[in-house]
Amino acid sequence: MKRFIAILLAFVLMTAMSFSSLAAVNAAQVSMALNFQGTTAMCSATILDPNKYINATLELWWGTTLIDSWPGSGTTSVSISGSHAVVHGRTYTLKVTGTIGGASINVDPIEKYFA
């Protein structure tokens, strides 16, 4: 029984990794930064994809609450920045959403704890 559970667990793990690797994404370069200065969160992102129309929004979340967002759009290159007051002891998440050439932007968010 134990052997069966171990094999099943390994199989589930391998399958999950394969699917995460195969997730469809756009061809682009995206950089993001979440930095705390005093009690302000400094958020920025740059998105680059030659000759593609980029329509993006930079979002700052606290848990499931969207606390601020900053839009940006353009062809080939878009840089977005914004700031928002933050509270000590909370974890904030920075996300980039939107589309590049009509396809969804699929990048991992940044999570950071404000000590």
**Which residues in this chain contact another protein in the complex, by CB under 8 A?**
6, 10, 13-14, 17, 20-37, 42, 44, 46, 48-51, 74, 76-79, 81, 106-108, 110, 112
Cβ atoms 104, 69 nearer than 8 A: no
State the nearest-atom distance from the C-beta of 50 to another protein, in Å: 5
Give the 3-state secondary structure of residue 17. Answer: helix
State the nearest-atom distance from the C-beta of 90 to another protein, in Å: 14
Beta carbon nearer to another protein, 28 or 69 = 28
State the nearest-atom distance from the C-beta of 66 to another protein, in Å: 19
Cβ atoms 109, 93 nearer than 8 A: yes
Alpha-carbon distance of 56 to 31, in angstroms, equals 13
Enter the DSSP assignment of 87.
-
